[in-house]
């Protein structure tokens, strides 16, 4: 855990947050700067700076994050209409918090990115 990491401080409880999902591997919250009508973040509880730092040992974590995203998409009413799952990696990839998190975006027709 990194003391100066926003998400680590959420995991530890130092920063209170309204969680949509919480389990032993990850939690989910609404993005404070949504880029779509539905914009959720599925956040690893383990401090892993970028997806480039993942190893095969993180397979269960990644599977859980995607499974949680699929469940939340259904709960948000966008499961059937479609949604986007995105990891940002590095500065040029748009990553602003260096603690892996999966973006779930939907609720409207999404355009091409990049």
In the numeric block, which tokens belong to residue 79?
A: 């499961």
Instruction: List the catalytic residue out of 39, 99, 101, 103.
Output: 101
When computed from its CA atoms, the radius of gyration of the chain, rounded to whole angstroms, is 14
* Strands annotated E in the chain: 21-22, 26-30, 38-44, 83-86, 101-106
Give φ, ψ of 74 to 5 degrees: -65, -45
CB of 95 closer than 8 Å to CB of 50: yes
47 catalytic per annotation: no
Contact yes or no for 103/88 (Cβ under 8 A): yes
| Residues with a known catalytic role | 101
């Amino acid at each position: 855990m990194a003391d100066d990491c926003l998400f680590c401080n959420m995991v530890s409880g130092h920063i209170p947050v309204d969680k949509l999902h919480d389990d032993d591997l990850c939690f989910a919250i609404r993005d404070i700067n949504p880029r779509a009508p539905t914009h959720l973040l599925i956040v690893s509880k383990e401090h892993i700076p970028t997806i480039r730092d993942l190893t095969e040992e993180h397979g269960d974590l990644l599977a859980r994050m995607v499974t949680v995203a699929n469940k939340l998409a259904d709960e948000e009413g966008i499961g059937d209409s479609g949604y986007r799952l995105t990891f940002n990696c590095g500065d040029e990839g748009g990553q602003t918090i260096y603690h892996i998190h999966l973006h779930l975006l939907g609720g409207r027709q999404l355009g091409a990115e990049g």
